[in-house]
Chain A
Amino acid sequence: MVSDPVNPEAEGRKKLSNKERMKIPRHPMPEQDPLARAQNFLEVPLGYTPQMAVEEAERCIQCKNPKCMEGCPVNVKIPQFIFHVALGNFELAAQKLKETNALPAVCGRVCPQEEQCEAVCTIGGKVEPVAIGRLERFVADWERASGKVSLPTLPPSTGKKIAVIGAGPAGLTCAGDLAKLGHSVTIFEALHKPGGVLVYGIPEFRLPKQIVDAEVDYLKKIGVRIECDFVVGMTRTIDELMSEDGFDAVFIGTGAGLPYFMGIPGENLNGVYSANEFLTRVNLMKGFEFPNHSDTPVPMAKHVAVIGGGNTAMDAARTALRLPWTEKAYIVYRRSHVEMPARKEEIHHGEQEGIEFLLLTNPTRFLGANGWLNGMECQKMELGEPDASGRRKPVPIAGSEFTLEVEAAIVATGNGSNPLINKTTPGLASNKYGNIIADETGKTSREGVWAGGDIVIGAATVIKAMGAGKKAAAAIHDYVMSKK
C-alpha cells in the first residue's frame, strides 16, 4: 500500500495558496475533430499530456474532508492520487487509484463524474471542479503505456472457491477484490469475450476495447480464472456450482440484458432493432468492419432513427452515424433536452458530430413495405405535470403527426432484467420487475449467494455496478472466512 501524504504542503508540492490554485483554469480535454471522428471509430477524447495532468492536479486544494471521495461509489482516494500526480509520481498515483478501483481506465472514461465526485468538489462551488475523471484516465493510461503495471502482493490462498457470474463491471470488480483477498475466483461469462456491457454495449470510440482487454488481463495476472462460453442457468446452474463443483459462494452480476420493445405497430419489421442487438453487432462482433474483417452483418441504412434519450441511445446514434453507409442519424426522444438521462458530454458530442435531435417527439407506428421498414410515424409532445419519476410527463399534441423517412430504427428505451438465472435458481427472490432482491451488501435470499449491479437495481451505470461488486466482495469474504 502506498503511504498517504500526511502534510501535502510539506512533501514538496508547489507552494500555492488555495486562491492561487483556484485561479488555474480547468484544462479542457483535447478531442478529435468532430467531423473527422464522425467517420471513424477511434476514441473521441485524446487524453491529457503529462504536463496538462500535473497542471490540473495543482488545482486540487487537498481538502481535509474530501467530499469527492464520498461522491464516488467505490471511494477512490481522490486527493491522494491527485497529490501524486501533481508531483509527477504517476506510478504511485496509479497504485493509489487501484487500491479501491479495479478498472480506473474504464471509470476515467465512462463514469458520470459530473454527478458524482466532481459534483461535490469543494472548489466546484466557486470555479470549475477539478477534472478528476480526466486525471483518473490519464493515470491509468500512463500506467498501461509505461508497462509498469504493478501487481499487488497476494495473501496466502484461503482455499475458498468463489463463482462470479458475468464478466461485466460488477463481476470484474467483485472478482478482483476477492482474488486480492486470497480466494480462488472463477468468472463465468455467457459471451465469447469478457467485459459485459463494456464490450458489447459501449462503443469503441468511447471505450477502446484494448483498455477492457488490459483490465481483464490484470485480473488474470492476479489469479482470476475466466470461463467464457459458459451460461450459468443453462451450461450449469447455481445449485450445481455450489453443491457439485465446490464453490463456497456465488456472486451474480448478470446485468440488465432483456430489451424492452415499445408495443407499437410495425416493430417486427425488418429494420427495427433493439439497441442491444445493434450495439452488440457493431461492438462485440466488430460489425463496423463487415464484410472484410467481420462476418457479422449490421444494418446498411442511409437514415437511422434511435428512440430514447439515455446513454445507450447516444451510443447507438453516434455508432450508426459512423457506419460508412449512414448519412443521417436522429435521436427521437419524447421529452425535452433537460430531461434527457444521457450524460451532457455524450449529448454534446452527438450534437457536434451532426446527430439531429427530434425532441418532444414520440414514435407511434413503424411503417413499411414488403416486410421492410421505410418510415416512422411520430407525434409531437408537450410537457405536462410531473409524473412518478419527478420529470414532467410528455403529452401528445393532437394533429401533430408526421412521418420520418428511415430505413432503420433502433429502440433504446431501456432494459429489463434477464430472467435466465431467476428461472433456474429455486428460492432466489426477485421483485415484480425481475430484479433480484438483495440487501445493501448484495446478499440475496439464498444462502451463500450475492448479487449486484443492474440485475439488482435495474439499468444504471458502470460505476454503480462496480460499487455493488465491491461491497459484495467484502461481504462474501466475511461469509466464507466465517464458514467452517
Chain B
Amino acid sequence: MYPILEKNDLAAKVYRYVIEAPAVVKKARAGQFVILRLCEDGERIPITLADWDIARGTITLYVQAVGKTTTMMSMMKAGDSLLDVVGPFGIPSHVEKGKTFVAVGGGFGIAAIHPIVRAHKQIGNKTISIIGSRSKELLIMEDEMRAISDEVRIATDDGSYGTKGFVTTILQSMLEKKEPMDVVLAIGPVVMMKAVSDLTKPYGVQTLVSLNPIMMDGTGMCGACRVIVGDKMKFACVDGPEFDGHMVDFPLLTARQKMYSPQEKISMEIFNKICQAQEHRETAAW
C-alpha cells in the first residue's frame, strides 16, 4: 500500500498528491514516470513524476480528473492509500552541460517539465520555461517553475495573465527574434506537442516531446504504447517516453489514444450513476 500524505485541489480538476513510495524514489530521475493502480478492480495508469523527496521517501504527482480512474483518485484524501505504485519507468531525460534549455509546458503538462527543468538548472544550464493555461486561475506551479528557471514566460488563452495566446505564441516570437536556444522540450496535449514540433522544425532546433500513449505494464511486454518515430515502431514505455518531436507520427498517437474511448465512456457513465445514487442516499439519510 502506498499512502497519500498530502493532497491539494489546484485548478480545473487538477490535483497534487504526495505519495509514499520509497522504492521508486531511490532511483527516480527527471523525465521518468510511475504506473499506479487505485484498488483491486482498478486499471493501471501511467503518470509522469513531477517531483520526489529522497528524505521523506515520497513522490509528487499531478493528476487531472478526466476518466473514471482519475476521478476516483480525485475523491481520495490524505491518509488514503493507493494499492500499487511501481517504477520508475522510462529512459530518464538526457541532460547535458552547456545548453540553453527551453521547456514548454501546457496545462498540467507543466508538472512533467518541472523535474527536467530542474535537472538542467542543477548542472548550470540556462533554463527558460514557457508555461500556459486557458486562464490565470488555471495556471499551476508558477512559483515552483520560477524557483528553477532563469526565465518564466506565461501565456493564457484569454489573456488574463502574461501573453494572450498559446505557449506557441511565445515560442514563435522567440524563434523569430533568434533568441538562443539549443534544446526545446514540450510536454502537454498532443496538439500542443505537435504545434511546438512544427514550429521549431524550420529553425532546426532540437525538439523533444514526452509521449503519453495508452500503456499497461510499462516494461515493454504488451506493445499497447507503440508509437511510430521516423518510420520505426517504438514502445514509449521502454524506448521513451521522450522522442524527437520532428520524427513522431502525431496523428497516429492521437488516433491510438482513442483506442478505448467507447469503453471509457461506458465506464464513466456507470461510475457517475453510482456516485449520483450515493449522493441521493446521503441526502435522503440527512
| A interface list, Cβ under 8 A from B | 190-192, 228-231, 234-236, 257-259, 261, 268, 270, 273-274, 276-277, 280-281, 285-286, 289-298, 300, 371, 418-420
Taking a contact as CB atoms under 8 Å apart, the answer to whether B27 and A291 are in contact is no
Taking a contact as CB atoms under 8 Å apart, the answer to whether A257 and B219 are in contact is yes
User: B147 an interface residue at 8 Å Cβ cutoff?
Assistant: no
Range for the number of chain B residues in contact with chain A: 35 or more
Taking a contact as CB atoms under 8 Å apart, the answer to whether A281 and B216 are in contact is yes
8 Å CB contact of A419 from B218, B220, B226:
B220
8 Å CB contact of A295 from B24, B41, B218:
B41
Taking a contact as CB atoms under 8 Å apart, the answer to whether A290 and B87 are in contact is no
CB distance from A369 to the nearest CB of B (A): 11
Taking a contact as CB atoms under 8 Å apart, the answer to whether A261 and B221 are in contact is no
Give residues of chain B (232-286) contacting chain A, Cβ–Cβ below 8 Å: 233, 238, 252, 255-256, 258-260, 262-264, 266-267, 270
CB distance from B92 to the nearest CB of A (A): 10
Query: Could you name 19 residue pairs across A and B whose Cβ atoms are closer than 8 Å?
Result: A190-B86, A190-B219, A192-B86, A231-B87, A235-B87, A236-B26, A261-B223, A273-B224, A274-B223, A276-B223, A277-B216, A294-B43, A296-B43, A297-B260, A297-B263, A297-B264, A371-B255, A371-B256, A418-B219
Taking a contact as CB atoms under 8 Å apart, the answer to whether A192 and B84 are in contact is yes
Q: Is the interface of A mostly helix, strand, loop or mixed?
A: loop
A230 to B147, CA, bound (A): 33
8 Å CB contact of A236 from B27, B41, B221:
B27
Max count, chain B CB within 10 A of own CB: residue among A229, A281, A286, A292:
A229
Taking a contact as CB atoms under 8 Å apart, the answer to whether B87 and A234 are in contact is yes
Given contacts A191-B217, A277-B222, contact A268 B238 (CB under 8 A): no
Taking a contact as CB atoms under 8 Å apart, the answer to whether B219 and A231 are in contact is yes
* Residues in chain A near residue B87, CB distance under 8 A: 231, 234-235
Taking a contact as CB atoms under 8 Å apart, the answer to whether A230 and B23 are in contact is yes
Taking a contact as CB atoms under 8 Å apart, the answer to whether B86 and A229 are in contact is yes
8 Å CB contact of A234 from B27, B226, B252, B263:
B27
CB distance from B40 to the nearest CB of A (A): 9
Given contacts A229-B84, A235-B27, A420-B238, contact A291 B223 (CB under 8 A): no
* Residues in chain A near residue B217, CB distance under 8 A: 190-191, 257, 280
Which 7 A-B residue pairings sit nearest by Cβ, starting from the closest? A297-B263, A371-B255, A257-B221, A229-B86, A277-B222, A274-B223, A297-B260
A376 to B219, CA, bound (A): 29
Given contacts A231-B219, A257-B220, A290-B263, contact A268 B84 (CB under 8 A): no
8 Å CB contact of B88 from A192, A235, A277:
A235
User: B42 an interface residue at 8 Å Cβ cutoff?
Assistant: yes
CB distance from B88 to the nearest CB of A (A): 6
Taking a contact as CB atoms under 8 Å apart, the answer to whether A274 and B264 are in contact is no
Taking a contact as CB atoms under 8 Å apart, the answer to whether B228 and A270 are in contact is no
A301 to B42, CA, bound (A): 22
A285 to B214, CA, bound (A): 15
